[in-house]
Amino acid sequence: MILDPPVLIRPAAEADWPQIWPFLWLIVAAGETYTVDRDIDEETARAWWMRPDARVFVAVAQGRVVGSAKLTRNFDGPASSVANASFLVDPGFAGRGVGRALGEHVLVAAKEAGFRAMQFNAVVETNVTAVTLWLGLGFQILATIPDAFDHPKHGPVGLHVMYRKL
Protein backbone atom coordinates (compact mmCIF):
# COMPACT_ATOMS: atom_id res chain seq x y z
CA MET A 1 0.00 0.00 0.00
CA ILE A 2 1.48 3.32 -1.09
CA LEU A 3 0.96 6.28 1.22
CA ASP A 4 -1.77 8.73 0.29
CA PRO A 5 -0.93 11.58 0.40
CA PRO A 6 2.64 10.80 -0.62
CA VAL A 7 5.46 11.06 1.86
CA LEU A 8 7.15 14.45 2.27
CA ILE A 9 10.95 14.42 2.46
CA ARG A 10 12.66 17.35 4.17
CA PRO A 11 15.89 18.12 6.05
CA ALA A 12 15.81 16.81 9.60
CA ALA A 13 15.69 19.21 12.52
CA GLU A 14 16.92 18.54 16.05
CA ALA A 15 13.25 18.51 17.09
CA ASP A 16 12.73 15.41 14.90
CA TRP A 17 15.01 13.21 17.01
CA PRO A 18 12.32 12.13 19.51
CA GLN A 19 10.35 10.67 16.58
CA ILE A 20 13.39 9.05 14.91
CA TRP A 21 14.78 7.38 18.04
CA PRO A 22 11.94 4.86 18.67
CA PHE A 23 12.12 3.25 15.23
CA LEU A 24 15.90 3.56 15.01
CA TRP A 25 16.08 1.65 18.29
CA LEU A 26 13.66 -1.04 17.03
CA ILE A 27 15.62 -1.53 13.82
CA VAL A 28 19.06 -1.63 15.45
CA ALA A 29 17.90 -3.79 18.38
CA ALA A 30 16.52 -6.38 15.92
CA GLY A 31 20.10 -6.91 14.76
CA GLU A 32 19.15 -7.81 11.19
CA THR A 33 20.37 -4.85 9.12
CA TYR A 34 22.83 -2.50 10.85
CA THR A 35 26.46 -3.01 11.77
CA VAL A 36 26.16 -1.17 15.09
CA ASP A 37 25.75 -2.59 18.57
CA ARG A 38 22.23 -3.89 19.13
CA ASP A 39 22.13 -2.38 22.62
CA ILE A 40 22.97 1.15 21.43
CA ASP A 41 21.85 3.83 23.88
CA GLU A 42 19.99 6.95 22.83
CA GLU A 43 22.91 9.36 23.30
CA THR A 44 25.25 7.22 21.18
CA ALA A 45 22.55 6.70 18.55
CA ARG A 46 21.86 10.41 18.31
CA ALA A 47 25.56 11.24 17.89
CA TRP A 48 25.84 8.54 15.19
CA TRP A 49 22.69 9.45 13.25
CA MET A 50 22.51 13.23 13.67
CA ARG A 51 26.24 13.84 13.29
CA PRO A 52 27.20 17.35 12.19
CA ASP A 53 29.07 16.29 9.04
CA ALA A 54 25.99 14.51 7.64
CA ARG A 55 22.92 15.72 5.84
CA VAL A 56 19.99 14.06 7.57
CA PHE A 57 16.52 13.89 6.05
CA VAL A 58 13.18 12.75 7.39
CA ALA A 59 10.17 11.28 5.66
CA VAL A 60 6.91 12.67 7.02
CA ALA A 61 3.52 11.02 6.52
CA GLN A 62 0.27 11.25 8.39
CA GLY A 63 1.70 14.11 10.44
CA ARG A 64 4.72 12.28 11.82
CA VAL A 65 8.25 11.17 10.98
CA VAL A 66 8.10 7.67 9.47
CA GLY A 67 11.63 7.38 8.07
CA SER A 68 15.02 9.00 7.96
CA ALA A 69 18.15 8.99 5.82
CA LYS A 70 21.69 10.14 6.47
CA LEU A 71 23.96 11.29 3.60
CA THR A 72 27.71 11.53 4.18
CA ARG A 73 31.05 11.16 2.42
CA ASN A 74 32.15 7.56 2.18
CA PHE A 75 35.82 8.49 2.05
CA ASP A 76 37.99 11.52 2.78
CA GLY A 77 40.64 13.29 0.73
CA PRO A 78 41.01 12.43 -2.94
CA ALA A 79 38.17 9.89 -2.73
CA SER A 80 35.69 12.29 -1.13
CA SER A 81 33.57 12.38 -4.30
CA VAL A 82 31.97 9.06 -3.25
CA ALA A 83 28.89 9.38 -1.04
CA ASN A 84 27.46 6.98 1.48
CA ALA A 85 23.97 6.87 2.96
CA SER A 86 22.01 5.05 5.62
CA PHE A 87 18.26 4.60 5.75
CA LEU A 88 15.61 3.84 8.38
CA VAL A 89 11.90 3.23 7.87
CA ASP A 90 9.52 2.87 10.79
CA PRO A 91 8.52 -0.83 10.65
CA GLY A 92 4.87 0.22 10.85
CA PHE A 93 5.31 1.94 7.47
CA ALA A 94 7.36 -0.75 5.72
CA GLY A 95 6.27 -1.63 2.20
CA ARG A 96 4.51 1.69 1.63
CA GLY A 97 7.09 3.51 -0.51
CA VAL A 98 8.92 5.37 2.27
CA GLY A 99 12.29 3.70 1.60
CA ARG A 100 12.05 4.30 -2.14
CA ALA A 101 11.10 7.95 -1.61
CA LEU A 102 14.05 8.45 0.74
CA GLY A 103 16.41 6.62 -1.62
CA GLU A 104 15.38 8.66 -4.64
CA HIS A 105 15.64 11.89 -2.65
CA VAL A 106 19.11 11.10 -1.31
CA LEU A 107 20.43 10.15 -4.76
CA VAL A 108 19.36 13.56 -6.09
CA ALA A 109 20.75 15.36 -3.02
CA ALA A 110 24.09 13.55 -3.37
CA LYS A 111 24.41 14.49 -7.03
CA GLU A 112 23.45 18.11 -6.29
CA ALA A 113 26.11 18.16 -3.54
CA GLY A 114 28.76 17.25 -6.14
CA PHE A 115 29.23 13.56 -5.38
CA ARG A 116 30.03 11.42 -8.42
CA ALA A 117 28.99 8.07 -6.99
CA MET A 118 27.37 6.41 -4.01
CA GLN A 119 28.66 3.32 -2.25
CA PHE A 120 27.00 1.24 0.43
CA ASN A 121 29.63 -0.64 2.40
CA ALA A 122 27.47 -3.15 4.24
CA VAL A 123 24.06 -4.19 2.90
CA VAL A 124 23.14 -7.42 4.67
CA GLU A 125 22.48 -10.00 1.96
CA THR A 126 19.39 -11.35 3.77
CA ASN A 127 17.84 -7.85 3.74
CA VAL A 128 16.02 -8.68 0.52
CA THR A 129 13.85 -5.55 0.68
CA ALA A 130 16.89 -3.25 0.71
CA VAL A 131 18.88 -5.26 -1.85
CA THR A 132 15.90 -5.28 -4.23
CA LEU A 133 15.32 -1.55 -3.75
CA TRP A 134 18.95 -0.61 -4.39
CA LEU A 135 19.22 -2.86 -7.44
CA GLY A 136 16.02 -1.26 -8.75
CA LEU A 137 17.53 2.20 -8.25
CA GLY A 138 20.55 1.31 -10.39
CA PHE A 139 23.06 0.00 -7.83
CA GLN A 140 25.18 -3.02 -8.54
CA ILE A 141 26.70 -5.49 -6.12
CA LEU A 142 30.48 -5.10 -6.41
CA ALA A 143 31.34 -7.81 -3.90
CA THR A 144 29.92 -9.82 -1.07
CA ILE A 145 32.01 -10.33 2.04
CA PRO A 146 31.09 -13.87 3.13
CA ASP A 147 29.96 -14.55 6.69
CA ALA A 148 30.75 -10.98 7.76
CA PHE A 149 27.47 -10.33 9.61
CA ASP A 150 26.12 -12.35 12.52
CA HIS A 151 22.41 -12.40 11.82
CA PRO A 152 20.25 -13.33 14.83
CA LYS A 153 18.08 -15.74 12.78
CA HIS A 154 20.30 -16.90 9.91
CA GLY A 155 23.72 -17.01 11.57
CA PRO A 156 26.72 -15.70 9.61
CA VAL A 157 25.62 -14.08 6.33
CA GLY A 158 27.33 -11.92 3.74
CA LEU A 159 27.57 -8.17 3.46
CA HIS A 160 27.17 -6.68 -0.01
CA VAL A 161 29.23 -3.71 -1.15
CA MET A 162 26.90 -1.84 -3.52
CA TYR A 163 27.74 1.01 -5.90
CA ARG A 164 26.11 3.40 -8.32
CA LYS A 165 27.38 6.30 -10.40
CA LEU A 166 25.41 9.51 -9.93
pTM of the model: 0.93
| 138 occurs within a structural domain | no
Q: Which domain holds residue 45?
A: 8-117
| 2 occurs within a structural domain | no
| 58 occurs within a structural domain | yes
pLDDT at 6: 82
**What's the CA gap between 131 and 123, in Å, rounded?**
7
| 84 occurs within a structural domain | yes
Q: Tell me the mean pLDDT per 10 residues along the chain, length 166.
A: 78 97 97 95 97 96 95 95 97 92 97 97 96 97 97 97 98
| 140 occurs within a structural domain | no
Contacts of residue 16, defined as CB under 8 A and 6 or more positions apart, other chains included, come to 58, 65, 68
Nearest to 153 by CA among 32, 8, 10: 32
- How far apart are the two ends of the chain, measured CA to CA in Å? 29
CA within 13 Å, CB half, 127: 26
Q: What total of structural domains would you count in the chain?
A: 1
The CATH number given to whatever domain includes residue 21 is 3.40.630.30
**What's the CA gap between 164 and 47, in Å, rounded?**
27
